[in-house]
Amino acid sequence: MECKHTFGSIRKPSKLRSILWREFVFNRCTVKQLSSKYKRSIHWVRKELRSHEPLPPAIAPREMVAVMDCVFFGRARGYLVVRDPHQKENVYWSEIERETLDEYRYARDTLESLGFVIQAVVADGKPGLKPLYKEVPVQM
C-alpha cells in the first residue's frame, strides 16, 4: 500500500526566492519575464522579491577614501551609501527618510566602530558636512 503523498521542502521557497532575486538584480530580468519563466503571477513574483532577505556581505575593514551620497526613490524612501572606489565596493548603506548630517555622522561612527579608517571623504555639496569630517580632507 502506497501513500502517494509528497512532502515539500521547507527550504525550497527560499531557494526559489534567492534565484528570483539574482535574476532580477544581476540578470536584469523584469517581473513580467520572471512571471512567465516560472509560470507564476506577477503578484506572486513581486511578493517573493519583497520577502527576500539577502545575506549581508562580509566586508573587511581597511583604510579607505569614502565616497558618500544619498539616492532617493520617491519622496520619503532613500539610501545613504558609502563606497570604497578603489575596491569598487559599497561598505555601508542605510535606508533613510531624509538626508541629514546625523545620518552621515552615524555612517562614520558605524564604519569606524567596524575598524575602517577614513582617509578622505568625497561627497556632494551637503552644507555642514566639512565640519563633520574636519580631521580628514573633504572634497565636495
Q: Are 56 and 74 in contact (CB under 8 A)?
A: no
Domain of residue 77: give its range.
63-139
CA distances from 122 to 83, 84, 115 (A): 10, 10, 19
Shared domain check, 131 and 97: yes
What pLDDT is recorded for position 104?
A: 94
118 and 68 within one domain:
yes
Q: What is the pLDDT of residues 105-134, one digit of tens each?
A: 999 999 999 999 999 999 988 888 888 888
68 with 134, same domain? yes
Do 39 and 72 lie in one domain? The reply is no
pLDDT of residue 87: 92
Confidence at residue 47, expressed as pLDDT on a 0 to 100 scale: 92
Q: Is residue 91 part of a domain?
A: yes
Number of domains in the chain: 2
Same domain (yes/no): 85, 110: yes
67 plus 46 within the same structural domain: no
Per the domain annotation, does 84 fall within a domain?
Answer: yes
Q: What is the pLDDT of residue 84?
A: 95
pLDDT at res. 26? 86
E strands in 29-107: 63-72, 78-84, 89-96
In this prediction, residue 41 carries a pLDDT of 94
Regarding whether 93 and 25 lie in a shared domain, the answer is no
The segments of the chain whose pLDDT lies below 50 read 10
Say if 2 falls within a structural domain.
no
Work out whether the CA dihedral 129, 131, 134, 137 comes out positive or negative.
positive
pLDDT at 7: 59
* Residues contacting 25, CB < 8 A, separation 6+: none
